[in-house]
A and B are shown apart, each in its own frame.
Chain A
Amino acid sequence: NAGVTQTPKFRVLKTGQSMTLLCAQDMNHEYMYWYRQDPGMGLRLIHYSVGEGTTAKGEVPDGYNVSRLKKQNFLLGLESAAPSQTSVYFCASSLDNVSGNTIYFGEGSWLTVV
């Protein structure tokens, strides 16, 4: 009964380092999303995927890359981390693309860039 799992949960990076956040879902969902949450800003969509092998840009895609090589996994990469990317990152997945109540979120990944 895992749902949406994110790894790692916490990470501290130095400016310029790279890293990958992994999201895995076991619900056979087609749609997957990466959001970031910043104080007072709510959650903002970074990238999303409508199926295996597809990716698309969201509201704040700059500085991030994603890949969806397998249906159950959605990877978020930071090639050269910047302090502005300090945030809490949430992965989500959904069965369909028309009902927000089908979106399931992971527990979040706290990233600090120093």
Chain B
Amino acid sequence: DQQVKQNSPSLSVQEGRISILNCDYTNSMFDYFLWYKKYPAEGPTFLISISSIKDKNEDGRFTVFLNKSAKHLSLHIVPSQPGDSAVYFCAASVRAAGNKLTFGGGTRVLVKP
């Protein structure tokens, strides 16, 4: 039973438009959420995070929104660029339990020029 789910395995978007990636979780104990980006043949790299005490965090073109009541978070990329084409993983953790991350299945994003 996956505690973190990314229901869209893939997403295609035109360059310059907004990419919206979604993530749902079931464990109400999760209090820290992250997005990782992964290129082929490379390890995941940290992109952006949000604590459960916030509902929004922004870093340049990337914004993460958290809706605790719905147990849902989303990542907005605007404007999307061809270099954003990658697999994006949502992850969650219980901070008191350390850096043991629970990952979603990933969403492959393709940004078309």
Whether the Cβ atoms of A48 and B100 lie closer than 8 Å is yes
A50 to B44, CA, bound (A): 21
Instruction: Looking at the assembled complex, report how far the CB atom of B26 sits from the nearest CB atom of chain A, in whole angstroms.
Output: 14
Given contacts A40-B9, A42-B4, A42-B104, contact A100 B99 (CB under 8 A): yes
Which residues of chain A have a CB within 8 Å of any CB of chain B? 4, 31, 33, 35, 40-45, 48, 50, 58-59, 90, 92, 94, 96-108
Extra contacts, 6 of them, besides A4-B43, A107-B41 (Cβ < 8 A), are: A42-B105, A59-B102, A99-B99, A101-B34, A101-B46, A108-B41
Given A50-B98, A98-B99, residue A105 in contact with residue B43 (CB < 8 A)? yes
The answer to whether B42 touches A103 (Cβ under 8 A) is no
Cβ-defined contact, B98 with A98, below 8 A: yes
**Do residues A44 and B103 form an inter-chain contact, with CB atoms below 8 A?**
yes
